[in-house]
Amino acid sequence: MTSQLYDIKQMSVEHCAQVYAIEQASQAHPWSEALIKSCLHPRYFNLVCLGNNQVAGFLIADMVVDELSLLNICVAPHARRQGIAQQLHQYMINFAKQNQVHKVWLEVRSDNTEAFNLYQKLGYQPISIRKNYYAAGVDALNMQLMLK
Which active-site residues does the annotation give? Answer: 107, 119
Contact (Cβ atoms closer than 8 angstroms) between residue 49 and residue 19:
no
Assign 87 to helix, strand or coil. Answer: helix
Q: Are 133 and 95 in contact (CB under 8 A)?
A: no
Of 68, 86, 143, 144, nearest in space to 112 by CA: 143
Instruction: Give the 3-state secondary structure of residue 104.
Output: strand
For residues 120 and 31, give the distance between their C-alpha atoms in angstroms, rounded to a whole number. 24
Distance (Å, whole) CA 23 – CA 74: 7
Distances (CA, A) of 118 to 48, 115, 123: 19, 5, 9
